[in-house]
Structure 1
Amino acid sequence: MIQTRIPAARLLLGLGVALCASSPALAQTDPASRLTELLEPLHTYSADFQQRVQGDDGQSLQDASGHMWLARPGKFRWEVNAPYSQTVVSDGAQVYMYDPDLEQVTVRDLDPKVTSTPALLLSGSAGELTSNYGVSMRAQGDTEIFSLSPRGNDSLFESLEMTFQGQRLTGLDLVDATGQRTEIGFDSIEQNGSVDDSRFAFQIPEGADVIREQ
């Protein structure tokens, strides 16, 4: 029998942010160029995260927490520790989604199009991101919030916000086509630190059911 529940780690795949008006300096900055300026120097990133999922009625559906790592291009690891364990790993070619409680691994090819894989918003190309999404920006002090809206119809979410404090990404807020909202806050952030490549290797556990998706 197939078991279902809200897959906290999958949300970055099925889906990888009102403040005061911008300062005069930011008002003169092209939002897409500014977002590219923040993302392009990002080679590695690791952080603890807190994730909340809300239904279209605003009711909380799930809270989750864990840690994530990424390395550009295309590699990331997303580990959910609570309320249950779940892991998503991309080695740059394939994505593995492992649920130890269900003893199940789902494997799919990595889709390089950020329109269909929001997890690649950070690990992918900033240039491709800004060509596929319209970008607007607002700011207060050293906090900058970028609102992204897909230009095409193949995106799995309706809107996305990315929040930066200084040069650091501190939050993601995305809404899918059903109106479900996922808010993710990051702390204990390390940008461009050393991340061992073994983080992005995944060995399928012996005895696990394997589902291969096209």
Structure 2
Amino acid sequence: MTVKKTLAALAVSALLPVTALASDGAERLTRMLEPLQTYEANFAQRILDGSGERLQEASGQMWLSRPGKFRWEVAAPYQQVVVSDGADVYLYDPDLEQVTVQALDHRVTHTPALLLSGSVGDLTDSYAVSRRQQGSAETFTLVPKAADTLFEELEMTFRGERLSVLMMTDSTGQRTAIEFRDVQMNAFIDDSRFAFEIPEGTDVIRDTH
């Protein structure tokens, strides 16, 4: 799994007591996400294999706006831009001078960015949700109800009711972890942020699948 496919961050420390609260997980997650209309943050991403060995790191900035709009800009170690205008997704690689265009898959189990920019109802319908409290952190574990998904498990950790870490684990045990910093919630984001103009001379690949 690569930065191009996902975008995620670190594991929460196990030093503090953990209280499992499975019964109210979906209800609590819904209450925290429903007021969210826009979300802006810097991010640091790490990809770890099943043994915990670091495979890849990346950093950049992201913007989200409901419904279905998002923009991820990877700044290091190489540049890449992923933009959704709510209908199509553009994956731009400036080094290759190539952009891939595909229709937005509105299933939250296939498009991780929709965890925040999609419908909260779709999220809780698609995943079994449990919750645990660890000090000041609330972590929600989401297990897909369907078999055809990109991930076996997702964890969303909130501090002060702001999403600070998103962790995704696939069937091989590989984990993609994104830590969010300098978070701004419900600030104005101009719609032009979610429009992508294909640079002149760029090869365009249209994915119809």
Q: Provide TM-score, normalisation by structure 2.
A: 0.92
Q: Is the 8 A contact 2:22 2:130 kept in 1?
A: no
Alignment of 1:87-106 (within 5 A): 87-106=81-100
User: Is 1:120 matched with 2:114?
Assistant: yes
Which letter does structure 1 place at the counterpart of 2:108?
Answer: V
Q: Deviations over 1:138-182 (max 9, x none)?
A: 112331000000011111111100000011000101012232210
User: Is 1:8 matched with 2:3?
Assistant: yes
Question: Cα distance 1:112–1:28, how it changes in 2: closer, same or farther (>3 A)?
Answer: closer
Counterpart-to-counterpart distance in 1, 2:128 and 2:194: 31
**Shift in Å at residue 12 of structure 1?**
4.0
User: Is 1:212 matched with 2:209?
Assistant: no
User: Is 1:78 matched with 2:64?
Assistant: no
Which residue in the other structure is 1:3 paired with? none
Q: Deviations over 1:67-122 (max 9, x none)?
A: 00000010000000000100000000000000000111011100111121111111
Which residue in the other structure is 1:60 paired with? 54
Which residue in the other structure is 1:132 paired with? 126
Q: Is the 8 A contact 2:23 2:130 kept in 1?
A: no
Which residue in the other structure is 2:158 paired with? 164
Three-state SS of the structure 2 residue aligned to 1:11 is: coil
Q: Is the 8 A contact 1:10 1:88 kept in 2?
A: no
Which residue in the other structure is 1:21 paired with? 18
Counterpart-to-counterpart distance in 2, 1:143 and 1:175: 20
**Shift in Å at residue 57 of structure 1?**
3.1
Question: Cα distance 1:87–1:29, how it changes in 2: closer, same or farther (>3 A)?
Answer: same
Which letter does structure 1 place at the counterpart of 2:105?
Answer: D
Q: Is the 8 A contact 1:89 1:95 kept in 2?
A: yes
RMSD: 1.8
Counterpart-to-counterpart distance in 2, 1:70 and 1:9: 17
**Shift in Å at residue 55 of structure 1?**
1.8
User: Is 1:50 matched with 2:44?
Assistant: yes
Q: Is the 8 A contact 2:7 2:178 kept in 1?
A: no
Question: Cα distance 1:28–1:161, how it changes in 2: closer, same or farther (>3 A)?
Answer: closer
**Shift in Å at residue 196 of structure 1?**
1.1
Three-state SS of the structure 2 residue aligned to 1:117 is: coil
**Shift in Å at residue 35 of structure 1?**
0.2
Which residue in the other structure is 2:172 paired with? 178
Counterpart-to-counterpart distance in 2, 1:150 and 1:133: 4
Which residue in the other structure is 1:110 paired with? 104
Counterpart-to-counterpart distance in 2, 1:54 and 1:195: 32
Counterpart-to-counterpart distance in 1, 2:173 and 2:186: 34
Three-state SS of the structure 2 residue aligned to 1:51 is: strand
Runs of 4+ in 1 over 3 A off after TM superposition: 26-29
**Shift in Å at residue 27 of structure 1?**
4.2
Q: Is the 8 A contact 1:9 1:80 kept in 2?
A: no
**Shift in Å at residue 9 of structure 1?**
3.8
The share of aligned pairs that are identical, in percent, is 60
**Shift in Å at residue 190 of structure 1?**
0.2
Is 185-194 or 112-121 further displaced after alignment? 112-121
